[in-house]
Amino acid sequence: MNQIGLNPVAIIKIPKGMRQRKAYADINVQEKPDMQVYSDLCATIDGVNMPSRSGNDFLSWRKLWSLTLPRKIIIFIWRVLNGCLPTREALIRRRINIDIGCPLCDAQPEPDFHILCGCLFARVVWLVSKWAFRNIAQDFSSLGAWIMALLQHVDKADVEEILSIMWARWKSRNAAIFKHEKKAPREVVELGTDMCFQYQQAMGGGRPNLLTTAPDAKRWRLTVGIKLKCDASIYKLDGARWAGAGFILRNSNGDFLLAGGVKFDYLSNVAMAELKSLLWALLICSKEYVLVTQIEIDCKQVVNWIKSKQFNGEMGHVIEDCCMVMNQINCSSVEHCKRGGKWDGS
């Protein structure tokens, strides 16, 4: 212990429950150990410097845990900030025999900053996002510094989407290593933004603006035999590509109950737009306590995805969410309806 410059007598005074605030508070003032000794000991054991405890950092940590994101994404960011991500470089330090190079660009080594920001693939991911980040690895000294800057200076909604894309980048990296699946940069962005959007809708945050609604749509009584029809399309506006979605609800007599429309960021193809449209409509039905008995959609591929419950693949998480919400509203029927088909009242 003397070889690393720490006083054994001072270390012995550190109680076993030191990492718990209550245990430290219960110690007699005269018997409290030297906090610098404790910090030096932790830094020596962990092999890293103790994290900053400035006021801004404390507020940033509070903001992180208050984000409206799935717990797995928040824990992922927590692991990033604490250097706990199992990158290849980290595994090598733990004496695990593994190739140290990046699986996508063969750069060596593969630290977390490289995976999520510095890799050529990661740089393209951020470039095609709506923020068009270009030089993250050059502008910030570490991944933690960039995340803290985001938490301190960027709006909450943007932070949530950015961190979700960061999680999606890590997920795509693992898929490339363990499943030999390679995603396009835009698909990674879509995966992250979709996860953020779906979670917030499920938690009741930020209902999309409806184009038209029934006057008493907020608390209307359940009607037997409600049919949901939804549709989506991809279009270009002012040089940018968008996906538009709409839905309509009618009862067994063909009476209008509820309708809505929304605009999404560009999606890779119409099938993805149709699937996202269906999930959005189902979430609204769930929020409005509507028991849908039948779904009609004009995309046969989406119908097959739902019926076969294809939870694998790039849209597997969206398909799984659709099935979950359908189960919540007691809907088990989804049928293909040819484009241009009219309501038959049945």
> In the chain, where are the structural domains located?
2-46, 55-202, 217-336
Q: What is the pLDDT of residue 170?
A: 92
- CA 243 – CA 234 distance, rounded (Å): 4
Q: What are 83-98's pLDDT values in tens digits?
A: 888 887 878 777 877 7
pLDDT tens digit string along 237-286? 777 778 888 999 888 777 888 888 888 776 678 888 888 889 889 988 88
Output the pTM of the full model.
0.49
289 pLDDT above the threshold of 70: yes
Task: Give the model's confidence band at 25: pLDDT under 50 very low, under 70 low, under 90 confident, else very high.
Answer: very low
Which tokens in the block code for residue 246?
Answer: 């709409």
Look at residue 176 in the predicted model and tell me its pLDDT: 86
Q: When comparing pLDDT for 180 and 3, which is higher?
A: 180
Q: What's the confidence (pLDDT) of residue 33?
A: 46
pLDDT band at 208 (very low <50, low <70, confident <90, very high): very low
- CATH number for domain 217-336, candidates 3.40.50.300, 3.40.50.150, 2.60.40.1730, 3.30.420.10: 3.30.420.10
Q: What is the average pLDDT across 218-226?
A: 48
Q: Stretch 54-71: mean pLDDT, rounded?
A: 78
pLDDT beyond 60 at 291: yes
pLDDT of residue 74: 92
- When pLDDT is cut at 50, 70 and 90, the band that residue 162 belongs to is very high
Q: Indicate the average pLDDT of the chain.
A: 75
